Amino acid sequence: MSYTNKMVVLALTISTFMGCKDNNQVAVLESKTENSIEQKVDSLLKLMTVEEKVGQMNQYNGFWDVTGPTPTEGNAEKKYEHLKKGWVGSMLNVKGVENVKTVQKIAVEESRLGIPLIIGFDVIHGYKTLSPIPLAESASWDLEAIKNSASVGAAEASAAGINWTFAPMVDISQDAKWGRVMEGGGEDPYLGSKIAQARVNGFQGDDLTKPNTIAACAKHFAAYGFGEAGKEYNTVDISGATLHNLVLPPFKAAADANVKTFMNGFNDLNGIPATSNSFLQRDILKGKWNWNGFVVSDWASIGEIATWGRAKDKRDAAKLAVTAGSDMDMESYAYIEELANLVKDGTIDESLLDDAVKRILRVKFELGLFEDPYRYCDKAREKEVIGNKKHHDAVLDMAKKSIVLLKNENNLLPLKKEGQKIALIGALASDKNSPLGSWRLASDDNTAVSVLEGMQKYKGNNLVYKKGADVTVGKTAFTKELHINTTDKSEFNDAIAAAKQADVVVMVLGEHGFQSGEGRSRTNLQLPGVQQELLEAVYKANKNIVLVLNNGRPLAITWADKHIPAIVEAWQLGTQTGNAVAEVLYGDYNPSGKLPMTFPRNVGQTPIYYNHKSTGRPVPMADTTMVFWTHYSDVENSPLYPFGHGLSYTDFKYKNLKLSKTSAAVGEAITVSVDVTNTGKLDGKEVVQLYIRDFVGSIVRPVKELKGFELVPLKTGETKTIKFTLDDSTLGFFDNNGNYLVEAGEFKIFVGGSSKTSLEANFELK
Ligand code: NOJ
């Protein structure tokens, strides 16, 4: 934006303020000489009518294209009128400089006060150039890479006019049946908190006024990941201790990282819908945590308070939501239709609106939108930044780091680069759409590098591709039904014939990208459709199989684990999927990913997670024929792959676990050190993990809890000493009332390369 333009915008904003017939002009003029955002916010608030205040709390979905209100969008004309009146504070799903500029211009130049819009968008794992889905990124345990991936998303989105992302989703989830596990950091609150901070820092950068940084949003506050039975939009009933120890820590971490916004959830929490939950939003978030950003509702969720049966109608819902601290209404029309009347008839106090509006204006000031509402609307930048080579390199790097080697018998991997006959089988191997996942609002369909394309770049081998079976038939767009092929085996024979001729078979099987994500819970965690049958049929022809999994959640691949010698977890890795997978398969990249969620043996074990509590009957009694202990009679308790599991093409050995002291007073720190050696033949990286167990507590404690990790690069033969510190911040826990307790007693420390750790030591807290 040129200097002249900036001045025009400023002049316009000031003249709009001065032209208004409000007696408080002086206050605004004063605010021009003040530096503090708080004073500017206060001055502006004084000029606003009740309707304009409500307007700031109203968010509309995009309805505008460059030629006018989009005819297909319901209420377009009405929304346009509201925009001109200053009755819209934010829009979502408007993208591209041209479109953003168009709506921003109306808000800034046609409304009475000229308050700029904040433009929101779901930049979940990138904008146009897509990184791996968040669950996959979390498998890297590489906080720098995760932060960088978020900053790539921010750079592209901001170049398209967007200044606010509805990410990161920091919901802890233990149930693989829930479709949205793909969008989070997995099952662990410690890892989840670190990832939440990395993502917030990546989106927001060190200066929010920069044109390549955007406001982030910690969502979905709170406990959306604990929906009963893994079913989407379902009820949540959890204890206070679970809320405080598992659900809230990543949100607190995001708040500590100065995340500018929160979004609440579609769920209820113990009977109170999150959107109307004063305890969560007023007592904890804005009270105890003293957080000063704003809370946006989820789509239509304010209206849904009535659907839950917690409010009698929309008016009641609006009252409950605003009282509970929901500051902005995403598309339920409850605020715009009801709030002004609720104030005018004295049902609610205007100070509730003032609090919400101040929070919203504050973020707009912090983004620099008042200084230049078109800060994010630079056409040249849009052209130069979106999809540039640097971003492709960054998402490729992230994709490689996200891959987890689950199994590798007899070093079947890496593949030889020459002289092998390879049969590549599976519809997902050639799919350029599925690897983009279900969140890709701004990315073009079919733009991922497929595994087939990635492998074709290695020309030294004879590569034959056969589909074998479809995963999907028909359309897979957001609202359309996803059809899974459950019957067609007509191409099995071609695949079997190719496998018979091959030295090694690579099979890319799993879920389509549209089988996980919002609204996509499953009760079956096996390979969908006829893929399991295909796998078994090919196995009969050639046992030398490398199974490459594509999926947005843990799958129950128990048969494969028993029979298939090599298994690679490749999730949905975004735009550069095929290049990343090929580099790992051929050994140009040594995998170091570790699972952020436990993989079950079968769906009946879910929710299954490593940090479960002890029970009164935890292990077989002396007589193991007895049935009276915590177990199933048809499957063992252990998972198929534990949390934190992941192999490398090299080997790591752990030794010399040492504690700085074996007994410490509450409040004292303890240092834990361990030597890790790369004993294999390749350079590699290992995620060194530290867990604790608190044996006796005033409430029952988990059998293990992650309390430290470090991603350590080790050259072949190299040893490093890794140190961790344990103190009050890691040794305590919350009780059911949210009190943080550090209790004296005996603890165990575990260190190793997964939650099934190798080394242990005890200490006592006195
Ligand atoms: C609903 C989803 O739950 C939320 O995460 C998302 O940000 C909004 N829709 C906006 O698209």
Sign of CA dihedral 115, 121, 126, 130: negative
Question: Could you tell which of 125, 166, 441 is best to mutate to test the pocket of ligand 1, judged by most ligand atoms within 8 Å of the CB?
Answer: 166
Question: Could you tell which of 217, 233, 441, 518 is best to mutate to test the pocket of ligand 1, judged by most ligand atoms within 8 Å of the CB?
Answer: 518
Active site residue 354: no
Sign of CA dihedral 585, 591, 597, 601: positive
Three-state SS sequence of 496-561:
HHHHHHCCEEEEEEECCHHHCCCCCCCCCCCCCCCHHHHHHHHHHHCCCEEEEEECCCCCCCHHHH
For residue 377, give both structure tokens: 């609307």
**Could you identify the atom of ligand 1 that is nearest to the CA of residue 220?**
5
Q: How far is the CA of 415 from the centre of ligand 1 (A)?
A: 41
Question: Could you tell which of 162, 298, 328, 329 is best to mutate to test the pocket of ligand 1, judged by most ligand atoms within 8 Å of the CB?
Answer: 298
Cα 686 to Cα 650, 678, 720: the distances in Å are 10, 9, 11
Confidence of residue 221 (pLDDT cuts 50, 70, 90): very high
Report the DSSP beta bridge partners of residue 691. 706, 750
Nearest CA to ligand 1 atom 2: 298
Q: How far is the CA of 434 from the centre of ligand 1 (A)?
A: 20
Q: How far is the CA of 321 from the centre of ligand 1 (A)?
A: 18
For 71, residues 6+ apart whose C-beta sits below 8 A from its C-beta are none
Alpha carbons 320 and 357: distance in angstroms, whole number: 17
Closest CA to 132 of 550, 506, 531: 550
- DSSP character for 746? E
Residue 8 scores a pLDDT above 50: no
Residue 473 class from Cβ within 10 Å (0-12 exposed, 13-18 middle, 19+ buried)? middle
280 HSE (CA, 13 A, CB side): 30
pLDDT value at position 6?
36
One of 298, 329, 378, 694 is an active-site residue; which one? 298
The model's pLDDT over 641-678, given as tens digits with 9 standing for 90+, comes to 999 999 999 999 999 999 999 999 999 999 999 999 99
Q: Is 408 left (phi over 0), alpha (psi -120 to 50) or beta?
A: beta
pLDDT value at position 623?
66
**Could you identify the atom of ligand 1 that is nearest to the CA of residue 441?**
11
For residue 649, give both structure tokens: 């093409």
**Phi/psi at 708 (5° precision):** -175, 150
- Is the peptide bond preceding residue 222 cis, with omega within 30 degrees of 0? yes
pLDDT value at position 475?
52
pLDDT value at position 477?
52
For 479, residues 6+ apart whose C-beta sits below 8 A from its C-beta are none
pLDDT value at position 28?
42
Q: 10 Å Cβ neighbour count for 383?
A: 12
Q: How far is the CA of 300 from the centre of ligand 1 (A)?
A: 10
Residue 710 scores a pLDDT above 80: yes
Q: 10 Å Cβ neighbour count for 462?
A: 13
Nearest CA to ligand 1 atom 11: 122
Alpha carbons 616 and 2: distance in angstroms, whole number: 70
- Residue 32 in 3-state DSSP? helix
pLDDT value at position 211?
95
pLDDT value at position 471?
87
What angle do the packed helices 334-344 and 314-323 form, to 10 degrees? 80
- DSSP character for 130? B
Residue 553 scores a pLDDT above 60: yes
Which amino acid is it at 187?
E
Nearest CA to ligand 1 atom 3: 298
Report the DSSP beta bridge partners of residue 394. none
Dihedral angle over CA of 488, 491, 493, 499, nearest 10: -120
- Beta-strand (E) ranges in 414-503? 421-425, 462-466, 472-473, 483-484
Residue 346 class from Cβ within 10 Å (0-12 exposed, 13-18 middle, 19+ buried)? exposed
Q: Summarize the confidence of residues 306-332 as an average pLDDT.
A: 98
Q: How far is the CA of 166 from the centre of ligand 1 (A)?
A: 7
Confidence of residue 625 (pLDDT cuts 50, 70, 90): confident
Average pLDDT score over the chain = 93
For residue 128, give both structure tokens: 């146009």
For residue 49, give both structure tokens: 């009518």
For residue 475, give both structure tokens: 């359309």
Percent of the chain beyond pLDDT 90?
89
Start-to-end CA span in the chain (Å): 62
Residue 204 scores a pLDDT above 90: yes
Q: How far is CA 59 from the centre of its chain?
A: 22
Dihedral angle over CA of 229, 231, 233, 238, nearest 10: 10
Residue 20 scores a pLDDT above 80: no
- Beta-strand (E) ranges in 587-737? 652-659, 663-664, 670-678, 684-694, 705-714, 719-726, 733-734
- Residues within a 6 A CB radius of ligand 1: 122, 166, 219, 298-299, 518
**Could you identify the atom of ligand 1 that is nearest to the CA of residue 183?**
5
Q: How far is the CA of 298 from the centre of ligand 1 (A)?
A: 6
- Residue 361 in 3-state DSSP? helix
Q: Is 201 left (phi over 0), alpha (psi -120 to 50) or beta?
A: alpha
| Residue owning tokens 């680069």 | 417
For residue 275, give both structure tokens: 């959107």
Q: Summarize the confidence of residues 454-462 as an average pLDDT.
A: 96
Question: Could you tell which of 93, 119, 299, 330 is best to mutate to test the pocket of ligand 1, judged by most ligand atoms within 8 Å of the CB?
Answer: 299
Pick the more confident residue, 487 or 692.
Answer: 692
Nearest CA to ligand 1 atom 7: 166
The model's pLDDT over 519-541, given as tens digits with 9 standing for 90+, comes to 999 999 999 999 999 999 999 99
pLDDT value at position 3?
28
Closest CA to 341 of 54, 110, 735: 54
pLDDT value at position 476?
54
Q: How far is CA 380 from the centre of its chain?
A: 30
Nearest CA to ligand 1 atom 9: 299
- Residue 142 in 3-state DSSP? coil
Closest CA to 403 of 188, 139, 135, 583: 139
Q: How far is the CA of 604 from the centre of ligand 1 (A)?
A: 29
Alpha carbons 371 and 114: distance in angstroms, whole number: 12
**Could you identify the atom of ligand 1 that is nearest to the CA of residue 265?**
3
**Phi/psi at 245 (5° precision):** -90, -30
Report the DSSP beta bridge partners of residue 685. 713
pLDDT value at position 57?
99
pLDDT value at position 643?
98
Angle formed at CA 397 by CA 394 and CA 402, multiple of 5 degrees = 125
- Beta-strand (E) ranges in 222-306? 261-264, 268-269, 272-273, 294-296
Q: Summarize the confidence of residues 365-378 as an average pLDDT.
A: 97
